[in-house]
Every structure is written in C-alpha cells, then in structure tokens.
Amino acid sequence: MNSRGIIFSLVLVVVLILAGAGLLAMLGFMAEPSSPRAILAGGSGGPSLQASQVVFDPPRPEDAPTDIREGVMLGYHILMDTQTYAKQYVGNKLNCRNCHFNAGRERNTLSLVGVAVKYPKYRERQKYVTDLVTRTQGCFKRSMNGKALPPEGKHMQALMAYYHWISKGLPMYADVPWLGLKKLKSEHKPNPAAGKQIFAQVCARCHGDDGLGTAIAPPLWGPESFNDGAGMHKMENFSAFTHHFMPKNNPTLSVDQALDVSAYATSQPRPHFQAGK
C-alpha cells in the first residue's frame, strides 16, 4: 500500500472513532433520567425526579432579586392586607390571608406555594383551560365579593411576581401534594341544627355570636363575607377547611362536627354573586 493509501486509511479510522463516540454520547444523553428529553418522553426517571424536587421550602419575599423585589413585596402585602393594598377591588371585609395563612406561605392552609407551576390548568367551573390571572380575578370577584384586577395593572402583576417567587425551584406541572383541599370522607348526614350548637361552642369566640366577624377573625356570612359564588360557599370546601385548619393553629373538630357546622354556616345569608361585576 502506498503512502497515500495509508494516510487515507488512518483518516477514515479517526473519523469512524469520532462518529462512534458522538453516537454513544447522544444515546447516553437521551437515556439520562434527569435530562429534559427523558422527562418529556415520560421515561422512568421523570416522575421520580419531579418527586425528589417537590419540597415545601418557599423563599422569603424580601429575598427576591432586586429587579422584582418591589413587585414581590407588593404581592405579599396585597395578600396579607388586602383591605389596604387593593381596597378598590374588594367588596367585603375579608383579606386574602383569611384563607391563605401567612400570604399562602404555610403548608397547613390553602397554600399558594406551587400555584405558579400548576397553571394554565383545566377548571371545571369554566369547562376550559384557565390561567393564573383569570383564577386570581375569580377570587376577587367571588371570595372578596369585589371586582377583577386588570391583568396589566400593577396589583395583578405584583401577585404574579409573588406567586412565581414563592414557587421558585418547583418543576413545571409537578405533583404538588399540599395544594388544594383534601375533601372529607364520611357517611354522616350534615345537620345544621347540630352545627349551630358547635358554632356557638367553638367558633363564636373568634367569629362572633352572629358570625359577622370580630377584630381577630373574619365574617363567615352576612353582607361583609364572601358571596355565594365563592368556592368556600360549597359545603365540601367549607367543611374540609374547617376540619383541617380550624380553630386556627389548633384544629379540633371531628369530620362529622366539621360537616355539621359547615351545613349551618353555608345556609346563612350572604351576598349573591353577580357575574357581570
């Protein structure tokens, strides 16, 4: 074989070696459980990776990066003191923190940590996909008996910044186990009359004998409470919240007691939801 043939053969061998190495690297990347491709393909590594990353550890609002900190802090203040920071959009005496304790940063409440990675999502109420802006507008129209925040306004944008900041580090569309309310399972038939007695014994000390609220707890019915279009007006939600979280910091009601007191509370008069607000 002449020198030209030898050189050609050597070049060919080097090319084949490089091509083989590249192919192996590509196959390894595709098989790597932690790679985005493996997760999107639904490989065995996807769910386990997400589960390992779903940890309840929300960052403090004041630790947000400088360029978004003002917005994050405004979002936090809106949730903690809605009556002051978004009063023009509120039609009752509630604050968002009444359901979302500590601005949604507590696990044992209606937490907001992780909501930013769960939307857009299908909502049974709309029978369609809903984004987080629309979901928040619904809260103001129903739970706050007020009106929708403009999507482009500073209040809504601040809330979006806050939601995303406290959801930092959670994978998109991961299973976030602490979100929502775990509905109660019971064969007990709710009894409003028994619920009235439970309310007087347990709830009235904070919410008032008439249920219209006190300096330490919000109204549960009446003109200054959530309207009949709010999720909390549904007995399944009210009873779950009551059983899991009430009295606040010391939940003591049994499932049956929670169902009874919820039947009583949700039967009381409250504002009517007006869809055109």
Quick count: other Cβ atoms within 10 Å of Cβ 30? 12
Q: pLDDT tens digit string along 135-173?
A: 999 999 999 999 999 999 999 999 999 999 999 999 999
Provide the CATH topology of domain 61-166: Cytochrome Bc1 Complex; Chain D, domain 2 (1.10.760)
Integer Cα distance of 127 and 234 in angstroms: 18
For residue 102, the number of C-alpha atoms closer than 13 Å in the C-beta half-sphere is 14
Domain boundaries, the chain: 3-53, 61-166, 192-265
User: With respect to CATH, is domain 192-265 assigned 1.10.760.10?
Assistant: yes
* Phi-psi sector, 211: left (phi>0), alpha (psi -120 to 50), beta: left
pLDDT surpassing 70 at residue 193: yes
In this prediction, residue 53 carries a pLDDT of: 77
61-166 matches 192-265 in fold: yes
Q: pLDDT tens digit string along 39-97?
A: 323 333 444 445 567 999 999 999 999 999 999 999 999 999 999 999 999 999 999 99
